[in-house]
Amino acid sequence: MVADLAVRNVKILDGTGGPQRDGDVAVEGDRIVAVGELGTAVVGPSTETIDGNGSCLSPGFVDVHTHDDGALLRHPDMAFKLAQGCTSVVIGNCGFSAAPARPGEADPSGLIGVRPTWSDLAGFAEAVADARPAVNAVALIGHNSIRRLVMGDERREPTGPELAEMAGHVALAMDQGACGLSTGLIYEPGRYSATDEVIALARESSAGGGIYASHIRNEADRLLDAIDEAITIGREADLAVQISHHKAAGRRNWGKVAESLARIDEANAAGADITLDVYPYTAGSGPMAQYFDVDRIDPELAAVIRFASCPAFRHYEGRMAVDVAAEQGVSAVDVIRQVLTAPEGDRTICIQFIIDEADIETNLQHPLMMIGSDGVVDLRGQPHPRLFGTFPRILAHYVRDRGILTLEEAVHRMTDLSCRRFGLVDRGVVREGALADLVLFDPDRVTDTATYDDPKQEPVGIDAVVVNGRIAYRSGVHTGVGAGRMLHHGRSSS
C-alpha cells in the first residue's frame, strides 16, 4: 500500500476532544489509511506530501447551520466555506429547503436563489452532484417549504389530507437521505402552524432516524416558551432536537440564554436529547420582510438594521438604516418602509445587531454547542461577515484571544459532535478508515478577516483543506477539484 497523500509533521487534533499529538496522516483514495508515524511502506515516490511544519491537522469543519442549498449550484466552488476549513455543510435550515419544490417555480423564500429543475430531494441531489461542489452537503427538509408547497400561505391549520401530504414529503425526503426536519417557526408560513402539526411531521423524521432542527418560534421576549415548545416536540415525536442559532434577541432579553441553557440541561437530565448551535457574532441576518410588519414597523429594530442585499436600492448595501435616514432627513422607520414597499423590497436581506457579546461567550461555554454560520449567500451585496469568517473567528477570537474554550474542544464541536448529530458517518474524526476530510491550520496565525464593512474576505492561517481525499484548497488557492458529495444521512459514502 502506498498513500496518495501524506500530511507530515503536524499536531493531530482528532476531533474527539482528546489532546493533540504529533504525527503524520496518510490518505489513500478518499480514506485515511494511517495516523501516527508513517513508515516507508506507506509513503512512496508517487505520494503527494504536504509538510505541515508543526501546524494543526484536524477533521474538516462542519457548518451545521447553512442556507447553502442554492449556493451549491450557483457557486459550486463554495470558496467562502472552503477557505474557512469547512468540508461539509448542513443545508435546509430554518424551515427553508431547496426540496421539495415545484419545478420551474421561482423560490419564494429568497434564500435558495435557484429555479428548481427538481421536485424532491433525490432530484436536487442529482443537480448538486452534476454541479460538482467543493464541499459535502447533507440536507434537512424544511417545514416552511413543505407547507408552502401544500397549502400556500394559508394562515390556518392544515386539513387532514394536507397534513398527510406534508408528512409524505418528510417521509420521502428521509428515504432519500435527509438528516431530519427543520422549522422556522418565526417565519411565514411556518408561524401559522400549531405545535401538533410540527409534532406530526417530526414523527416522520423520527421514523427515518432523523432529528428536529428548529429556528424556534421566538428568540426574544418569549424565548423560554419557544424552548419549551421545542422540548415538547422532541419528547412527543421521540427524536433528538437541535436548537438553531441559540440567542436572546433584543437588549431587554440579553442574559436570558443562561436560563434557556439551564432549561435544556434540565430536559437532557430527564432523558431528552437536545443540542444547539451558535454563530460567533452579535448580529443576525435574514430576509428583512420577515422581521417587520410594514404597517407597524418596530423602531427599536429599525435602529439596528444594516442592509446586506437591497435590490431596490443597491446604494444602501453595507449601510445602517439610521445613516441612510439621517442623510435623507427622515427616520429609520421611514427608510425601512421605503425599502419594504419598493419593487423587489421583499428581496432585501438585512443584518440586525440584536445580540449581546456576553451571551455568545455563555453559549460557547456549553459543551453541546456546535458552530453554524447561518450565512446567507448573496455575493452581489455586502453579506454578514459570518459567511466568510465564522470558523476562523472561533479559533482566533474565542479560543486564542479569549480562552473561552480549548482548541481541542472547539475542534470537537466543529467536527465529531456535529457529524454525530447530523448523521455524517465516518467523518469528523482523524482515524484510520475514516473519510479524508481534513484541514491544516496554524492556531497562532488563523484569523477571520471578514468585517461588516469588508465582508467578502477569506481568512488567513487556513493552510490546506482536503475533501474526500482531494486537496481542495492550499495556501490561498482553490484547486477547483470539486470533490464534494451529497451525503445520505446515516450512510458512509465512497
Residues contacting 251, CB < 8 A, separation 6+:
356
Region binding Zn ion by CB under 5 A among candidate stretches 148-156, 207-215, 226-234, 424-432? 207-215
Considering the complex, state which of residue 285 and residue 362 has its C-beta at the smaller distance from Zn ion: 285
- Shortest Cβ distance from residue 93 to Zn ion (Å)? 6
- Shortest Cβ distance from residue 282 to Zn ion (Å)? 16
Considering the complex, state which of residue 20 and residue 373 has its C-beta at the smaller distance from Zn ion: 373
Region binding Zn ion by CB under 5 A among candidate stretches 215-223, 270-278, 379-387, 425-433? 215-223
Considering the complex, state which of residue 390 and residue 468 has its C-beta at the smaller distance from Zn ion: 390
The yes or no reply on residue 217 touching Zn ion (CB under 5 A) is no
- Shortest Cβ distance from residue 187 to Zn ion (Å)? 8
Q: CA 460, CA 441: separation in Å to the nearest integer?
A: 9
Q: CA 320, CA 348: separation in Å to the nearest integer?
A: 13
Considering the complex, state which of residue 215 and residue 306 has its C-beta at the smaller distance from Zn ion: 215
- Shortest Cβ distance from residue 387 to Zn ion (Å)? 14
Considering the complex, state which of residue 94 and residue 360 has its C-beta at the smaller distance from Zn ion: 94
Region binding Zn ion by CB under 5 A among candidate stretches 87-95, 102-110, 169-177, 224-232? 87-95
User: Per the structure block, which three cell numbers stand in for 157?
Assistant: 391549520
The yes or no reply on residue 67 touching Zn ion (CB under 5 A) is no
The yes or no reply on residue 174 touching Zn ion (CB under 5 A) is no
DSSP-derived letter for residue 435 is: B
Residue type, 421: R
Q: Do residues 183 and 214 make contact, with C-beta atoms less than 8 angstroms apart?
A: yes
Residues 352-387 as b or e (16 or more Cβ within 10 Å = b): bebbbeebbebbbebebbbbbbbbbbbbebbbbbbb
Region binding Zn ion by CB under 5 A among candidate stretches 4-12, 42-50, 88-96, 130-138? 88-96
Considering the complex, state which of residue 163 and residue 213 has its C-beta at the smaller distance from Zn ion: 213
The yes or no reply on residue 140 touching Zn ion (CB under 5 A) is no
Q: Three-state SS for 311?
A: coil
User: Per the structure block, which three cell numbers stand in for 25?
Assistant: 496522516
DSSP-derived letter for residue 96 is: -
Helix (H) / strand (E) element for 150: namely: helix 143-151
The yes or no reply on residue 94 touching Zn ion (CB under 5 A) is yes
The yes or no reply on residue 143 touching Zn ion (CB under 5 A) is no
Residues contacting 229, CB < 8 A, separation 6+:
185, 195, 216, 217
Considering the complex, state which of residue 186 and residue 430 has its C-beta at the smaller distance from Zn ion: 186
Considering the complex, state which of residue 338 and residue 352 has its C-beta at the smaller distance from Zn ion: 352
**How many residues sit close enough to Zn ion to count as binding (CB under 5 A)?**
2
Q: Do residues 25 and 31 make contact, with C-beta atoms less than 8 angstroms apart?
A: no
DSSP-derived letter for residue 396 is: I
Considering the complex, state which of residue 140 and residue 435 has its C-beta at the smaller distance from Zn ion: 140
Region binding Zn ion by CB under 5 A among candidate stretches 8-16, 56-64, 91-99, 357-365? 91-99
The yes or no reply on residue 412 touching Zn ion (CB under 5 A) is no
Residues 378-407 that bind Zn ion (CB under 5 A): none
The yes or no reply on residue 215 touching Zn ion (CB under 5 A) is yes
Q: Do residues 299 and 332 make contact, with C-beta atoms less than 8 angstroms apart?
A: yes
**DSSP secondary structure string for all residues of 335-378:** HHHHHHHSTTGGG-EEEEE---HHHHHHHHTSTTEEE-------
The yes or no reply on residue 427 touching Zn ion (CB under 5 A) is no
The yes or no reply on residue 339 touching Zn ion (CB under 5 A) is no
The burial class, CB within 10 Å (0-12 / 13-18 / 19+), for 268 is: middle
Residues 13-52 that bind Zn ion (CB under 5 A): none
Binding residues for Zn ion, per CB under 5 A? 94, 215
